[in-house]
Amino acid sequence: MAIPSTVPFIGLSWDDVLFLLFATTMIGTALLVVSMRDIIRCGLAMMASFGALAGIYVLLGAPLVAAAQVLIYIGAIAVLILFAIMLTQSKAAPARLVFQTQAVPAGIAAVILAVVIALTVTATDWGAVTSRLGTATDELARLLFRDYVLPFEIVSVLLLAAVIGGVFLAKREEGGPQ
């Protein structure tokens, strides 16, 4: 059975619907991340947001990026963050104020920022084509190890430095105060 090229009753293309779905999820979960009281739930919401973004990556024809998104963000960073939350969540600390006293100005600033970005983005001619272009994975690999080999190496050094320093800072010392 052929799937209709547009969604019945709504008239949008499937891609549009998917886009809207992912976009709405992403925005919704992002808002939850910044507004929920329970920080663990915030973490979970963040994971959901990352997932939605992975969907958009697929939609944009970058499946490898989508895969990396799932692996790195959801698999590594988000888990790391959740661990950190566990480590720093003292039971003695009740759910105090979520927001800083400056939440209102922060909100205003954020809204202005969003509006300005949206306006400038739409006002600019990006030289974009009207259809999405796909990226072949093998091409990507070649690129990564040939044209972008220097950045690739730098990233490895960066991660090395971050790990060395991170380990030093985070490790509990024998004889230390705690």
Partner 1 sequence: MSAADFSTISPVVAAVLVAAAILLVDIVRPGSRTLAIATSLLGLAIVAAVVLWAGQSTADAFDGAYRQDALTTFLDLLFVAIVAFTIVFAPDYLESRDLPFAEFAAVLVFAMTGAMLLAAASDLLVLFLGLELMVIPGYLLAGFAKRDALSTEGAIKYFLLGSFSSAIFLFGLVFTWGLTGSTRIDDVARHLTDMLSGGASMSAGLAMGLAFMTTGVAFKIAAVPFHYWTPDAYQGSPTPITGYLSVGPKVGAFALILRLFIGALDPLKTDWLPVMEILAALTMTMGNLVALTQSNVKRMLAYSSIAHTGYILVGLAAYAAGRIEGLEGVLFYAAAYTFMNLGAFAVVAALQRRPGVTSHLDTFAGLGRREPILGVLMTLFLLSLTGIPPLAGFFGKAYVILAAVQAGGTLTILAVIAVLNAAAAAFYYLRVVVYMYMREPTSEAEPPKHGSLVWAGLWAASALTIAIGVFPGPLLDAVHHAALALP
Partner 2 sequence: MSNSLDAYLVLSGIIFAIGTFGFLARRNAISMLMSIELMLNAVNLAIVAFGSFVEALRTASSVIALIVMAVAAAEATVGLAIVIAIYRNRRTPLVDEYDTLRQ
Partner 3 sequence: METLIPLIPALPLAGFVFTGLFGRRLGKRASLVPVLAVVASWMIAMVVVYNALTGSGAFAGGQGVEVHLWNWIPAGAFQVQFGFYADNLTACLLIVVTTIGMLVHVYSLGYMSHDPGYWRFFAYLNLFMFSMLLLVLADNFLLVFAGWELVGLSSYLLIGFWYRRRSAALAAKKAFIVNRVGDVGFALGIMAIFVSLGTLNIREVIERIGTLDHTQITVIALLLFAGAMGKSAQFPLHVWLPDAMEGPTPVSALIHAATMVNAGVYLVARANPIFAHAPEAMVVVAAVGIFTAILAASIAFTQTDIKRVLAYSTLSQLGYMFAALGVGAWTAAIFHLMSHGFFKGLLFLDSGSVIHAVDGEQDMRRMGGLRRRIPITYATMFIGSVAISGIPPLAGFFSKDEILGEAFKNGFLWVWAIGLLVAGMTAFYMFRLMGLTFWGKSRVDPAVEPHIHESPRSMTLPLLVLAVPSVLLGLAIGWPLGSGQLRTWLEPVFHEAVELAARPEAAYAFFGVDGALLITSVAVATLGIIGAWALFGLELPGIRRAGNPDRVRSLAGRMPFLYRASLNKWWFDELYDLLFIRIGGRIAAFLWWFDRAVVDGTVNGVGALTADAGRGLRRFQTGHVQNYALGIAIGLIVMAGGYLVIAGR
Pick 20 or 155: Cβ nearer partner 1: 155
Binding pattern for the stretch 93-132 against partner 2, x by CB under 8 A and - elsewhere: x--xxxxx-xx-xxx-xxx-xx--xx--xx---xxxxxxx
Partner that binds at residue 125, options partner 2, partner 3, partner 1, none, CB closer than 5 to 8 Å by kind: partner 1
Asked if 40 contacts 78 with a C-beta cutoff of 8 angstroms, the reply is no
| Smallest distance from partner 1 to CB 110, Å | 13
- Residue 111 touches partner 3, criterion: CB under 8 A: no
Based on the number of CB atoms within 10 Å of its own CB, is 68 exposed (0-12), middle (13-18) or buried (19 or more)? Answer: middle
| Interface with partner 3 (CB under 8 A), residue from 17, 77, 109, 144 | 109
The DSSP 8-state label assigned to residue 172 in this structure reads P
Give the binding-site size for partner 2 (rule: CB under 8 A).
97
| Smallest distance from partner 1 to CB 146, Å | 9
Binding pattern for the stretch 35-74 against partner 2, x by CB under 8 A and - elsewhere: ----x--xx--x--xx--x--xx-xxxx-xx--xx--xx-
Asked if 23 contacts 49 with a C-beta cutoff of 8 angstroms, the reply is no
Give the dihedral sign, CA 14/16/21/25: positive
CB atoms within 10 A of CB 117: 10
DSSP per-residue string spanning 17-63: HHHHHHHHHHHHHHHHHHH-S-HHHHHHHHHHHHHHHHHHHHHTT-H
Please identify which residue in the block is written with the tokens 């739409």: 122
| Interface with partner 3 (CB under 8 A), residue from 102, 122, 131, 178 | 102
Binding site for partner 1 (CB under 8 A): 116-117, 119-121, 123-127, 147-151, 154-155, 157-158, 160-162, 164-166, 168-169, 173, 176-177
